Amino acid sequence: MNVKLSILFVLLCGFFHLNEAQTTDCSNTCMLRARCSPYYKDLVWAIVDRVCRVFQNGCIFGNENCMRVNQCLPPMVATSKEECMQEPYCPRWCSRGGPPVCAWFPYTHSNGTTGGRDMAFGSRCGLDMYACRNAQAYVNEPRIGRCD
């Protein structure tokens, strides 16, 4: 092998090695998926990608973190409501635009009956703003588009 060829070889090996590192498979890192009640309300607050997110309870928060880890994303860290409610994490208004979303909010009446309702928002920002301003958690990923 001449020198040029062996340099090319070393470079190619380095390239494939880097490529491998970028496509790391995290899919089985977390196997702890629990069954969570969406009605049990014990809110967990977390700032995720500079957005204040509200989770209905620690079980749901834990499952979300499990899914994040399996996508090679860093786990979310719970924070206080006061910290989360600050600008710009929980904004007072959202600019127009973005696809409309439909989110499911669970509730428990004082007589113990549980249920949930779909609520429509003009954007994901509007949904997260409603959730943090009103301390109401939606459960599951919101659906893109209008509510049926």
Ligand X SMILES: *[C@@H]1O[C@H](CO)[C@@H](O)[C@H](O)[C@H]1NC(C)=O
Which residues of the shown chain bind ligand X in the complex (CB under 6 A)? Answer: 109, 111, 113
Instruction: Give me the least distance between CB of 107 and ligand X, in Å please.
Output: 10
Tell me whether residue 83 or residue 118 sits nearer to ligand X (CB atom).
Answer: 118
Residue type for 40, please? Y
Q: Which residue has the closest beta carbon to ligand X? A: 111
CB closer to ligand X, 62 vs 106 = 106
Q: Are 106 and 39 in contact (CB under 8 A)?
A: yes
Report the alpha-carbon distance of residue 48 to residue 31 in Å, rounded.
22
State in angstroms the smallest separation of the CB of 117 from ligand X. Answer: 13
Residue 17 or residue 109: which is nearer to ligand X going by CB? 109
Contacts of 74 (CB under 8 A, 6+ apart): 68
Taking the C-alpha atoms of residue 43 and residue 147, their distance in angstroms, rounded to an integer, is: 25
